[in-house]
Each structure stands twice: as structure tokens, then as C-alpha cells.
Amino acid sequence: MPKFLTTTGCSYHIESIIINSKKKLVLVTPYLQLSKNFIDRLSDADKRGVKITLIYGKNELNEKQQNILYSLDNIEVFFCENLHAKCYHNEEEMVLTSMNLYEFSEKNNREMGLLLQNNNQNFDDAVTEIQSIKNSSELIISSTKSLNNFEDLIKMDSSHTEKGNFHFPSLYRVLKEKYPNYNIDFKDEKIRINNFPFSEIDFIITHRVEVVVAHQVLYNKIQNMFEKVFWKLPGRYFWNYNLNIYEDRSFSVEFNEAGLIKKVNKQIEIIDAFYKNIKPSERKLKQTPVW
């Protein structure tokens, strides 16, 4: 039977849902401003391997919030422009409430909600509606897991014996696992990721990482954005219409298992750095018209 919750009860049970999540955690909140306590709880859930789905919709994530969410290994973040629902659940419990995941709400607002157990039709109906909201939302952040989660995918391949490309099969397997929502091809000794991290940008990976941008306006905006941060990113950046990213001059590997791991790790580091710096600005970059 549903349990009525006041403001304190809503906050307590939302935190409890995060703490007690085992495999799945879903957070639906129009306004998002995570308190330190909730950040710590999300981080703990992430370290346990819980798959976190966060849907928000009323304001842009600030840089601090973006960095926090991008640091998690098992999260997907969606933007739903007309979102007004607030709902939080794990495998066993759900809170339907008026409370946002907004620090101000916890401290200042009068809220109410209902606690549901996963043993009735109301719980199932809410999960179905959340899935519908997710399906109509825009993916903002897709989990970029650490390389340690893919050790079993990194192994020598007898069909690739040249030092320049011996890492391609392993790199391709890892990219497919890390970025399952993207179209990734491996042929003609090239790995290609289309529309990455969003439409009008493609990645072509050979002896370098080539970022192919569809038009000059978008290219200029990306270049201006990266001028502020590229010096602290892994690799060397060369801007000549398409952006080419090379490994550091001092980088070298041996043709063995250790060298393979090092090579894959370096290229994943370069790709992840670009993704994490450019993806949060997708909506702003797309606002520029093509000339």
C-alpha cells in the first residue's frame, strides 16, 4: 500500500532508494542541482556498478554538474524539454513526489509524495511511463566506462601484425562496448564513428584521430571552444579544416601485450577527452546556422 510522505520523508526515501539500489537507479527530475550528499550517494552507487538513468528538463547543466556526472562510469543522462514529472526508483521502491533533485527544494519547499513498493500495478505503470519519457528525450551523456572494465576485450590479434595497426581489433571492440549508442565501423584499416559525439561530426581513426566536421561554422566554434582547454588534453591538436589529433611525441609502444594495452588506452583517452569536452555543448553548437 502506498505510504504518504512529507518533505523530510521524500528526501529520506529518495536517498534510501539511491543507497539501496543494486543494479538499476532511475531519477526523473525537471530541475537538477545535486547537493554534496546526493553526489556522494550517486558516486557510491556508480562504484557498485549500478546503472544510473537521469532525466532532467528545465535548465542547462552548469559546468560543475557536468563534470560530476561525466566522472561516473555507469550513467546515462537525458534531456526532456517538457518534463514536469518527478519520480525516483530502484528495483524495489519508488517515490512519486513534487520534489526536484534540487538542493533548494530539500531545504525550503513544502513537498509531498508517495512511496510505492514493486509489488503492484502502480509501480509498473510508472515504470512504463518513465520509459516513454526516456524514449522521447535527447541523450546528453552516455556512460564512458574506464578501460579497466574492458580488459577481456584487449588481446593480440594474429591478423594485425604491423605495429601501426596491431591495436585496431581491440580498440574497435572497446569502442563498441563504451559507446553502444553510436554507429562504429571497422574496415579498410580504419575505424569510423559516425555522428560522434553528435550529428555533423565523424571520427576516423588510423595512425591518428581525425575529426571530420561537416561545415566551417561548426568547425570554427569547436576550435574556439578547444583553444581554452586543448593544452591540458591528451595528445597533440592540429587544426587544418579537419581536426587531427596525434599522440604525444614521446609516446611509444612495444609490439606485445603490454604495448597493446598502452596503445588502446592512449587512443581511448584521446577520444574520451574530446567527447567529454564537446558533448555537453551540443545544443549550443547546433544553434549556429550553416553559411
Same domain, 61 and 121: yes
Residue range(s) defining the domain that contains residue 87: 3-142
Q: What's residue 240's pLDDT? A: 85
pLDDT tens-digit map of 79-135: 898 999 999 999 999 999 999 988 756 667 899 999 999 988 999 999 999 999 998
* pLDDT band (50, 70, 90) for residue 291: very low
Same domain, 85 and 153: no
Same domain, 128 and 196: no
pLDDT tens-digit map of 178-234: 888 899 999 988 999 999 999 999 999 998 999 999 999 999 999 988 887 777 888
Q: What is the CATH number of the domain that holds 45?
A: 3.30.870.10
Same domain, 166 and 54: no
DSSP letter string over the chain?
Answer: --EEE-HHHHHHHHHHHHHT-SSEEEEE-SSEE--HHHHHHHHHHHHTT-EEEEEE-SSPPPHHHHHHHHT-SSEEEEE-TT----EEE-SSEEEEES--EEHHHHHH----EEEEETTSHHHHHHHHHHHHHHHTSEEEEE----GGGGGGG----TT--STTTTTHHHHHHHHHHH-TTSEEEEETTEEEEES-SSTTEEEEESSSEEEEESSHHHHHHHHHHHTTTGGGSSSEEEEESEEEEE--TT----SSHHHHHHHHHHHHHHHHHHHHHHGGGHHHHHTSPP-
Q: What's residue 289's pLDDT? A: 55
The tally of domains found in the chain comes to: 2
- The yes-or-no verdict on residue 288 having pLDDT over 70 is no
Q: What's residue 106's pLDDT? A: 64
- The yes-or-no verdict on residue 155 having pLDDT over 50 is yes
* Residue 291 covered by a domain: no
Q: What's residue 144's pLDDT? A: 58
Mean pLDDT of 161-177: 87
Same domain, 95 and 159: no
Same domain, 8 and 52: yes
Same domain, 213 and 132: no
- Which of these three, 142, 163, 194, is where a domain ends? 142
* pLDDT band (50, 70, 90) for residue 138: confident
* Residue 156 covered by a domain: yes
Same domain, 78 and 173: no
